[in-house]
Amino acid sequence: MTPDKKTALLERIAAYPRQDLIHRPTPMRKLERMTAELGGPEIWIKRDDLTGMAFGGNKSRKLEFIMPDVLAKKADVLVTWASLQSNWAMQTAAACVRYGVQPVLVLFKTYDLPPEPDGNILLDRLLGAEIRFKEAGKGKLVTQAGALAAVEEVAAEYRAAGKNVYVIPVGGSVPAADMDRPLGAVAYVAAFAEMLEQTRAAGFTPDAVVHSTGSGSTQAGLLLGARVLSPATRVVGISVSDSKDAFTEIVREVVEATERELGTDPVKAPKDILVFDEYIRDGYGIVNKEVADIIRRVFRAEGIVLDPVYTSKAFIGLVDLIARGYFKRGERVVFFHTGGTPALFPNRAFLV
């Protein structure tokens, strides 16, 4: 893409209505000790766990673009769904109460934790969110169609009571229900541009970006940002739930919707959708010794806390990919920390 088209893309994103929910830019620094320990590429970290709203996380970026749509449609109730200890659900509730919108959270029990007021559920309760717990199979076995059906039942109750309801998909990712545009992915095109400005100020263009991938829009936004602004940068998603094939299709769907939304040139053969599913291990949200060990290792080396569901799996993947030679000595890799740390506390028994 020509410089003029790059400028046009950034100007189009800048023109979007945006609620001021986060601190921008989020910090970025080199992980000196982990780089030395692993003996491969330089590892940098983008601290999207420090976005600033309710313990932070990547979902806050998305909500900056989503909440204007909620408010423009004059919603007084927002209904969304997620897993039990969802950072998305909690961040959404925090954004809602800031603007006087009632948050209603449909939380699926996708792993063996009780629905006690701990971690994100404690924060949901403190925010005054209405919570509906639903059963689900292990391994995040909740299809979008099944989740939407359950959510629409809840939304119908509020509509019957005269409320104007906005239904939003998990993670603010795949356009569906009342969020009919890929606003979450647009937010992460902007995040890629923010990161690129920081890396270039530090004297380099990243060879790769690594992140945990869970609902699709973070990877889709970063990928589209890379395609347009830094085509040599690989975007590597570490799946925490779904198979490589399934997730590649989700990301492709969101990328194509975002290309249409932003008017970028479509990519017909999306071979650059890179997803690794080897690190799901025991399943979505299952905290095992490997997860506990990487959280401990990074905290003791760098003073940075990973979460037990997303970023720990992604960092396990990063370490293994370095060991396998996927990332080379002398390359520079940026790890996006997407937040979720409140989920540490209900998992305490598995971490110590």
| Residues that are catalytic | 86
CA distances from 94 to 218, 273, 306 (A): 20, 32, 21
What is the Cα–Cα distance from 138 to 326, expressed in whole angstroms? 31
- SS3 (DSSP) at 191: helix
CB distance 148 to 142 below 8 Å: no
* End-to-end CA gap in the chain: 50
Q: Which residue has the tokens 């003791």?
A: 300
What is the Cα–Cα distance from 235 to 229, expressed in whole angstroms? 12
Q: Burial, 202: exposed, middle or buried (Cβ in 10 Å; 0-12, 13-18, 19+)?
A: middle
What is the Cα–Cα distance from 294 to 307, expressed in whole angstroms? 10
| Both tokens assigned to 103 | 């948050």
The type of residue at 192 is: F
CB distance 292 to 299 below 8 Å: no
CB distance 129 to 103 below 8 Å: yes
| Both tokens assigned to 338 | 């997407």
What is the Cα–Cα distance from 25 to 15, expressed in whole angstroms? 18
What is the Cα–Cα distance from 227 to 265, expressed in whole angstroms? 10
Q: Which residues contact 289 (CB under 8 A, 6 or more apart)?
A: none
